[in-house]
Amino acid sequence: MSPKDFSLFEAARRRQPWGALALVMLSGLAIMRNGVGFESGPPQPAAAARPVARPVGPAPTTAGLQELPFAPASRIRIPAIRVAAPIMDVGLDQNGWIAAPPPQDANLAGWYQNGIAPGQRGTAVVVGHVDNTAGPAVFYGLGSLEKGQHVEVDRYDGRVAVFEIYGVEVYQKDNFPGVQVYGDTGQPELRVITCGGGYSRARGYEGNVVVYARMVGSR
């Protein structure tokens, strides 16, 4: 990304703040519409990993942590499930849903570019498919993550934001708690989201797996 492109990106971001995402989610819409579904199904969050109420937690301690300035996300790594994937920018589709990355590219995630950048104060959002017609996709193993594991997000300014997971949950799409998932906790946070829950050919996946993580460092 050139300096000119970065400036244009920053200007666009300021014109379309986080509130656009809040309006979508508070109206009850979910992130990812459908998946393919396989006989074994993706792993589901363990009960011990689930946050139970807002504020979700306990969250990692971040006293003295310095938040990062705005910069677009370029790559996500989740060592515990062997994810190392490039990130593309995504916005909203014509129906008001957050647009998913192209399904034919199994190893690709999307960062919601009209919201918070990973490492900024607020809640950044990264989405990706759980599967496609060829098999498991980038976030197939998301539901198996546990508290204390890390997610790293590379940024186009050369910095890496490091997040620690403090909750993993699966929510029904028709009862998605937008305020809890996307609310500003006053800290740099990350949500990683994919499809999950039950699956039917008629409706696709019934829910979304949501990983809650808070920044604990950067480099």
Q: Domains of the chain: which residue ranges?
A: 3-218
Residue 168 near residue 145, CB atoms below 8 Å = yes
Domain 3-218 sits in CATH at 2.40.260.10
Q: Which residues 6+ apart lie within 8 Å of 52 measured at CB?
A: none
Q: pLDDT tens digits, residue range 30-64?
A: 444 455 655 568 998 987 777 655 545 555 656 67
Q: What is the pTM of this model?
A: 0.81
Dihedral angle sign, alpha carbons of residues 172, 58, 149, 90: positive
Residue 102 Rama label (left phi>0; alpha psi -120 to 50; beta): beta
Amino acid in the structure at residue 129: H
Whole-angstrom distance, CA of residue 157 vs CA of residue 45: 33
Kindly report, residue by residue over 127-142, the tens digit of the pLDDT.
Answer: 999 999 899 999 999 9
